[in-house]
Amino acid sequence: MTTPLRTGDLIAGRYQLERVLGIGGMGVVYRARDLLHEQFGEPCSSVALKVLGECFSECPDAHVLLYSEFSLARSLLHPGVVRMFGFDVDTRRQSAFFTMELMHGMPLDRLMLERPAGFGWHEWQPMALQLLDALAYVHGRGVLHGDVKPGNVMVAEAGIRLFDFGLGQSQAVTGLPGLDRHRISAWTPAYAAPELLSGAQLSATADVYGVACVLYEMAQGRRARERKLTQAPDRPRQLPRHCWSALRAAMAMDPTQRTITVAEVREALSGRSWRWFA
């Protein structure tokens, strides 16, 4: 049985927990001091440390699911994606965890609360392109994020960072453990593609839907789901007409109609035309 963690605890004889940074559907992220690096004079010794939440930590395969998230993200080397450090187990507490870079900035969902009318185009476009760059890279590496939402995007002076691959899957590597969708319902309804909520498998086009909903909310100031399911979304006031067709296609409720890729959405928002017909 795992022992609950608290601020001030020393993990694996090396990491001292300072405070909780965030609590998600599956895990808890702490800010921690790496005491080993401090001993060697490392000036930046703070890391982010993730463990599973109490409701998941008692599952027999919980540590395997945590390792799956770490394994998915550790090969992703992109300025717009959080960087993983290492996976370890505190044997005394029987608690698995992994460490990653400590990101500085504000989560996008908190920033959006300060912008109830949405972001203006000249602020929105660079942020949108950076987010799409990161997700396009992730897809290019054969990884699906699975939970693209404002709470999993960090906004800092250095730019946008995408994190939390807890619901992700690999298209390139087989044999990694996955989340049992029948046992655990962890999708965020406001940003999850309709087919995921109906029990379909995660796909690249589901990620497209999620990021499109995030971009729409950033521009419009309200969620795309705040409308009737049969009603087409209105064009955000800040969004030029020349790129609206691409974003609207990415938000198609029917996955068979959602044929646009993340890279094609990026091209459209950068000013290049996107052909909606074959």
Spatial distance between the Cα atoms of 94 and 112, rounded to a whole number of angstroms: 38
pLDDT tens digits along 38-90: 988 888 889 999 998 776 656 666 678 889 899 999 999 999 999 999 999 99
- Contact indicator for 233, 248 with CB cutoff of 8 Å: yes
- CB atoms inside a 10 Å sphere around CB 102: 17
Residue type, 15: Y
pTM, 2 dp:
0.89
Residues of the chain with CATH 3.30.200.20: 10-100
Instruction: Using alpha carbons, select from 7, 134, 127 the residue that is nearest to residue 78.
Output: 134
pLDDT tens digits along 235-254: 888 888 888 999 999 999 99
- Contact indicator for 2, 95 with CB cutoff of 8 Å: yes
Q: Is 50 annotated as a binding residue?
A: yes
- Contact indicator for 196, 202 with CB cutoff of 8 Å: yes
From the candidates 147, 164, 180, 254, give the one annotated as an active-site residue.
147
Active site residue 254: no
Q: Which two tokens stand for residue 131?
A: 């987010």
Determine which helix (DSSP H) or strand (DSSP E) holds 153, and give its type and residue range: strand 153-156
Find which of 1-5, 43-47, 139-143, 221-225 is predicted with most confidence, using mean pLDDT.
Answer: 139-143
How distant, in Å, are the alpha carbons of 92, 124, 206, 229 from that of 235? 55, 14, 21, 16
Q: What is the CATH number of domain 10-100?
A: 3.30.200.20
**Arithmetic mean of pLDDT, 106-116:** 94
Burial label, 157 (beta-carbon count in 10 A; 0-12, 13-18, 19+): exposed
**Arithmetic mean of pLDDT, 114-121:** 92
pLDDT of residue 234: 86
Residues of the chain with CATH 1.10.510.10: 106-269
pLDDT tens digits along 173-200: 555 555 554 445 578 889 999 999 999 9
CATH class for the region spanning 106-269? mainly alpha
Instruction: Using alpha carbons, select from 187, 198, 215 the residue that is nearest to residue 253.
Output: 198
CA angle at 82 for the pair 81 and 85, rounded to the nearest 5°: 135
Q: Which two tokens stand for residue 61?
A: 């395969």
